[in-house]
Structure 1
Amino acid sequence: MSTYEDYNQKSHLYDTQRYAVGTDVMAAMMQFYCGKKLQDLHILDAGCGTGNYAKALVGMGARQITLLDASSGMLEMVKCKLSDYIARGVVKQVIEAKMPPVPFPDGTFDVVMFNLVLNHLDRGDPAFPNGVNTLKESIRILRPDGLIVVSTILSSTFSSVTWFSQLNMELTNRFNATILPSVEQFEKMFEDAGIKCIQKLNILGSDLYKSYYNLNGSLDESWRKPSAYWSFATTEEVATAVQKVEMLKANGEYEKWVKEHDHTNSSGVLTIFICKRSLANI
């Protein structure tokens, strides 16, 4: 389960704010590094949420995919969204389980992907031990030439790229220190788990968030509610952000401020790590 968000409660709201961004890049990397066509890869979507990434991969030709999540609410969404693919056997299993461990036999999958999930497994521990142990489990369940795909939002992205997270930097700094790993922390997690990162890339733009440029969204609880960032905030921290928006609007400076603080088109929101087991684990 997430250490800071109740996804059983939020499952029906999740798809109102999120797209499965970068799936085309992930699919290309899977095929290139595994040396197989997408249809021949058995993929585990670990921490699958409502199944957005799985659905996108199936649409691109994946024919063997297993989904795992700790939230029964999220998995109910999966079963509705992917019901046809479950009936046809394209979706092999839908498993409810908390990571770590990852409950599959050794050598089951060609690809294990963790999309926006590893930062949910630990809270306030800079070594991210649950994340490391989950990555170790991914090595165990991979086939010999298997691939690990990790997507995330980095702490540096919240600090200086997305405009809404710069409305209250005290909140953002606390969120980053408690929840979000930096690039350096991810690299240490990979090293501790016995994994080698072979590609790092950012997906430019803000497409991960459906209503990113709704500038009045930060004033609207229904806009904030699906976001783990805003759920993490205290009432006082939300009030500080709202007060800043209202002040900027009153001074006629809000749109200018957003343009000056939004760097998603040059830096991107989503970071993807493409990884394989290190030589010591081959």
Structure 2
Amino acid sequence: MFDMGVGRMALLDASADMLCVAREKFAVEIKANKVSAIAQTSLPKIPFDDGTFDAVLLNTVLHHLPSGSGRNFFHAVETLKEARRVLQPDGVIAITLLLDTSSTNAWFLNLSPEILDKICSVSPSAEEWNKMVFAAGLKCLLKTNLHGFGLLGDEDYIEYNNIFKQEWRNSIVMFEHTTKEEIEHVSQKVKSLHMKGEIKGWIKDHDKTQQFGFISLFLCQ
């Protein structure tokens, strides 16, 4: 991403595990002093001064925040306002977001109808997203869907002795809405498919991200 013109960046996450992953992935950039800060923090508060950044990236963040009573998505709206605050006047906010209708396209959410229903129930619809942007005082410059089976490969998520990689499991809100029985059912299903040598075929058959996309990308000001 630095070849695209990114000079220095700050990395924020609520999960210590995911920040450890970030330190590994950006080890070269950290050594080159291209990472100005690495902070564990919970949104909506962003711990920087007004107008600090040329760009803000909220990468698959907003749909993990509490939706609030009546699906008002208060925390997401406040996070968008904070992103606007720390942005310079001509800066851009890039947002990747899971909308409710896109959840059914991902193989790992199709492992359990019960879990899928829970994820859909807390993910905003396209109409709710438009209201969130308006409430935050932003306007959308671009919207597109990210496609590709490679975005959701099993190697990114699964350790077969513990189904989902622990750092991912610790960070994703999906597991806050599940029961132990549901997780155990999914774990056994994945382990069984793996032992039979069928996991990659099952994923390919149940993943629709290539045709219909999964995560939506928005550019806002």
TM class, shorter-length: 0.7 to 0.9
Question: How do residues 123-138 of structure 1 correspond to structure 2 at under 5 angstroms?
Answer: 123=67, 125=69, 126-138=71-83
Q: In the aligned structure 2, how far is the partner of 1:171 from the partner of 1:210? A: 19
Given that 1:224 and 1:230 are in contact with CA atoms closer than 8 Å, whether structure 2 keeps it comes out as: no
The aligned residue for residue 275 of structure 1 is 220
Among 26, 30, 50, the residue aligned to 1:86: 30
C-alpha displacement of 1:243: 7.7
Distance 1:109 1:258, change over 3 A: closer
Deviations 1:61-102 (A, max 9, x none): 421212222333433443444344234332122233222221
Given that 1:206 and 1:269 are in contact with CA atoms closer than 8 Å, whether structure 2 keeps it comes out as: no
Q: In the aligned structure 2, how far is the partner of 1:211 from the partner of 1:166? A: 13
Establish whether residue 189 from structure 1 lines up as the match of residue 129 from structure 2. no
Establish whether residue 224 from structure 1 lines up as the match of residue 167 from structure 2. no
Query: SS of 1:107's equivalent?
Result: coil
Of structures 1 and 2, the one scoring higher in RCO (CA 8 A, sep 6+) is: 2
Distance 1:231 1:129, change over 3 A: closer
Q: In the aligned structure 1, how far is the partner of 2:200 from the partner of 2:38? A: 44
Establish whether residue 117 from structure 1 lines up as the match of residue 61 from structure 2. yes
Fraction of identical pairs, as percent: 35
Given that 1:124 and 1:177 are in contact with CA atoms closer than 8 Å, whether structure 2 keeps it comes out as: no
Distance 1:243 1:76, change over 3 A: closer
C-alpha displacement of 1:114: 0.2
Question: How do residues 59-78 of structure 1 correspond to structure 2 at under 5 angstroms?
Answer: 59-78=3-22
Establish whether residue 152 from structure 1 lines up as the match of residue 97 from structure 2. yes
Question: How do residues 133-282 of structure 1 correspond to structure 2 at under 5 angstroms?
Answer: 133-159=78-104, 161-178=105-122, 180-211=123-154, 220=160, 222-225=162-165, 226-227=168-169, 228=172, 229=174, 232-239=177-184, 241=186, 261-276=206-221
Amino acid paired to 2:36: K
Aligned-CA RMSD value: 3.4
Amino acid paired to 2:163: W
Given that 2:67 and 2:75 are in contact with CA atoms closer than 8 Å, whether structure 1 keeps it comes out as: no
Q: In the aligned structure 1, how far is the partner of 2:111 from the partner of 2:4? A: 38
C-alpha displacement of 1:271: 1.4
Q: In the aligned structure 1, how far is the partner of 2:179 from the partner of 2:34? A: 42
Given that 2:163 and 2:190 are in contact with CA atoms closer than 8 Å, whether structure 1 keeps it comes out as: no
Distance 1:169 1:192, change over 3 A: same
Distance 1:257 1:192, change over 3 A: same
Given that 2:163 and 2:187 are in contact with CA atoms closer than 8 Å, whether structure 1 keeps it comes out as: no
* Ranges in structure 1 where 5+ consecutive residues have no aligned partner: 1-56, 277-282
